[in-house]
Structure 1
Amino acid sequence: MRLSSPLLLLLGLFLLSPVVAEEKQLEEQEEEQKEPDNDHIMLDSLEQGVTSTVDATARWFDRFFGDSRAFEDEYSTQGRLSVGPEWSEFDGTKVRSSFRARVNLPHAERRFSAFIGRVDIDDFVAGEDTQRRSSVLRNVSGDSEWLVGLGFDPHQGEQSRFSVNAGIRGGLRADLYTEGRYLFQYRMSDRTQVRTRSVGFWRNSDGFGFAQRLDYEQTAGDDWLGRFTIEGTRAERISGIRWHSSASVYHLYAEERAIATEIWYAGESGNVVPDRDMGIRGIHRQSWRRDWFYIESWIGMHWPKEEPGQTRKGSWLVGIEFEMWYGQN
């Protein structure tokens, strides 16, 4: 009986299939036994960049405590609303409140965003308003007011980023402002990194200015972070250079519960009293009921001075803040 060509072809494939499968299995075993490619390992390590332990830990504490990188992640809508009564032996009782909302505009590859909020314009334009608890460490002459603006992020790299913002402050006063910010972070090791932030700005009422900030961060495990910060601002509205330095230690001691200790020193070089304030405080922060609602309390002591003949003496600080975040789902 003669077999047709198609039948002969099928019969041949059937007989050869075990041989082919065995050869393929041997090739896979040889690949598994090969030593890893060192070039690929180096490239993978380089690609990770600042997504190392220190940066991941720093970002977590920044987000948990509402620090300056809290609005740099990949959410389309971000914002927060806070109310915080505080008492100081020096200033008495005050109730601070703030509102911020930033929306990344669609169809623009996440490069454009809109902003509206009630913040301290002096600190916001200099890039300091997002610093944790600006209600305590704020510009003594500042005050909150409404701000509306647009942002453009032409470069959003993991290691560096550049952004431009412009808007209107003061409601009907229509005081225009614009600024450019450049953030760069360099990983020195898996536990240490340095970040710099440079801000050039212009305001219709106050002219040109420049602010520079340097952060040194080091971790000890995933639940400890130490940070030293120094920053200075020079502008036509400032007498000399307004500066601020601080040293902080953060510790996550339970799920969604953390404590921090902070020492700060602040002043303005051209002022009648250059070193206007210094202090220390302990902070406790935790989420309550929901992962977007936080309660933060602090107690400490500072040594302010406003007039040359004034005696510098210790004054107690006590405060609590209720804060609601949205846009983090």
Structure 2
Amino acid sequence: MRRGLASCVLLGYLASGWAAGAGEQGAPQSAGSGLSILDRSRSMVHDFTEGVARHVDGWFGDKPFEQGGSVSGRIGFKFLTRQHESPDASFRFGAKLDMPNVKEQTYLFFGQENERELVIDQPEPFTRRELLLAEDRKQDQTFFAGVGYALRDNIDFRAGLRSGIKPYAQARYKKGWALGERNHFDFRETLFWNRKDGVGSTTALSFGHGFTRSLAFRWQLAGTISDETDGLAWSNSMGIFKSLGDQRIVSLEALIGGATAGSDNVSETGIRAVWKQPVYRDWTLVEVSLGHFWPQGDAKDENRRGWALGVGFEILF
């Protein structure tokens, strides 16, 4: 039984996304003269975010922020390059604010993210960042802010604004099932709306099997359909994840993606190896990704075939 439970814990850790990772970190200690620049910088970001939360929360009542208030988030940088393409760098920032004077189920959020991936709620493994694809920071990146309401543990509603006062809304449902001691299945459905795409939906499925306490298999599938997609835009990955202790994770995955419309359903295949571990305490993480990708079908181009490398840093606060 202990072995099975440990496998489920590993699978749950590997399946955790942006919000979960940010929420697990406690508030940093107050900066002092003996702390490093990184400690002080993290403390400043946390204190600034908490200051925003306290100020906004004060609009709704007089209940002290200490009675249930909290903030969490993360800052991420990633440097990447693909063979035959120019090197690129991307930045991510996101924060979640829980405030005691607002209803318990309501929270605020803000940050910077890839605009389309934010709206459609793209699963993290299939984002351009994780697929080692360059972005146009002026066109692809956006600042966002909004309000969320958790109706139940597995139902979530969000409404927000992106750069240029562009509104969007989401209704999300997620559910997980333990299938015995070694297997776990997760389902997530997001209905979204924005002016460009109209109404659309993103479905994400994930199945994990724990071989041992530290070794697991994971299969992930995501599909999005809207007025802006050619049929169903889909992504698929299968891989092995190995925990080496002390939050060190190494993985090897096979990737395939495409769209159902057009003469060819598959647009690209690839492999991706990732090493992730803390580099300073448990809240500063480094991730090194190495991949090789093969364009397929109408997108097939020998000049786009090749290796890709990414180095990412994350600070949780």
Give yes or no for TM over 0.5: yes
Q: CA deviation at 1:317?
A: 0.9
Report Cα offsets for 1:207-262 as digits up to 9, x if no partner.
10011111111112321221101111000111211100001221111323221111
- Provide the C-alpha distance between the structure 1 equivalents of 2:225 and 2:160, rounded to a whole number of angstroms: 21
> 1:132 and 1:311 mapped to 2: Cα distance?
23
Q: Distance in 2 between matches of 1:267 and 1:68?
A: 27
Give the unaligned 5+ runs of structure 2: 27-69
Structure 2 match to 1:70 = 21
Match of 2:11 among 58, 64, 68: 58
1:206 aligned partner: 197
Q: How far apart are the structure 2 equivalents of 1:71 and 1:131?
A: 17
Alpha-carbon distance, 1:304 to partner: 2.5
C-alpha deviation, 1:176, in angstroms: 0.7
Question: Using the alignment, how far apart are the partners of 1:290 and 1:233 within structure 2?
Answer: 37
CA distance in structure 2 between the aligned counterparts of 1:320 and 1:241, rounded to whole angstroms: 31
Equivalent residue for 1:98? 92
1:238 aligns with 2:229: yes
- The equivalent residue for 2:115 is 121
CA contact (8 A) 1:267 1:275 kept: yes
Whole-angstrom distance in 1 between the partners of 2:18 and 2:96: 15
TM-score by length of 1: 0.73
Q: Provide closer, same or farther for how the CA distance between residues 55 and 152 of structure 1 changes in structure 2, counting only shifts above 3 A.
A: farther
2:312 is the alignment partner of 1:321: yes
* Match 2:283 to one of 277, 283, 292: 292
Question: Are the equivalent residues in 2 in contact too, given 1:118–1:144 (CA < 8 A)?
Answer: yes
Partner secondary structure for residue 146 of structure 1: strand
Summarize the alignment of residues 54-203 of structure 1 with structure 2, pairs less than 5 Å apart: 54-63=7-16, 69-70=20-21, 76-108=70-102, 110-128=104-122, 130-131=124-125, 134-137=128-131, 143-156=140-153, 161-170=154-163, 173-203=164-194
Contact 1:68 1:132 in 2 (8 A): no
Q: How many equivalent residue pairs?
A: 269
Native 8 Å contact 2:84 2:303 kept in 1: no
> CA shift at 1:275, angstroms?
2.1
- For 1:74 and 1:271, locate their aligned partners in 2 and report how far apart those are by CA, in whole Å: 45
Deviations 1:262-286 (A, max 9, x none): 1111112235764222110211111
Q: Distance in 1 between matches of 2:92 and 2:288?
A: 17
Identity of aligned residues (%): 19
- Computed over aligned residues only, the root mean square deviation of the Cα atoms, in angstroms, reads 2.8
Give the 3-state SS of the residue equivalent to 1:254 in structure 2. coil
- Identify the structure with bigger relative contact order (alpha carbons < 8 Å, sequence gap 6+): 2
Larger Rg: 1
* Counterpart amino acid of residue 269 in structure 1: T
The 5-angstrom pairing of residues 300-315 of structure 1 reads 300-304=291-295, 307=298, 310-311=301-302, 314-315=305-306
2:261 to 255, 264, 270: 270
Q: Secondary structure at the match of 2:116?
A: helix
Q: Quick check: 193-202 or 250-259, which moved more? A: 250-259
**AA matched with 1:70:** G
Aligned residue type for 1:96: S
Gap runs ≥5 in structure 1: 1-44, 46-50
- Return closer, same or farther for 1:313/1:276 CA change in 2, 3 Å cut-off: same
> Separation in 2 of the partners of 1:210 and 1:286?
33
Q: Distance in 1 between matches of 2:9 and 2:127?
A: 22
CA distance in 1, matches of 2:230, 2:284: 39
Aligned AA (2:21):
A
Distance 1:196 1:130, change over 3 A: same
Letter in 2 for 1:162: I
* TM-score, with structure 2 as normaliser: 0.76
Change (3 A) 1:275 1:132: closer
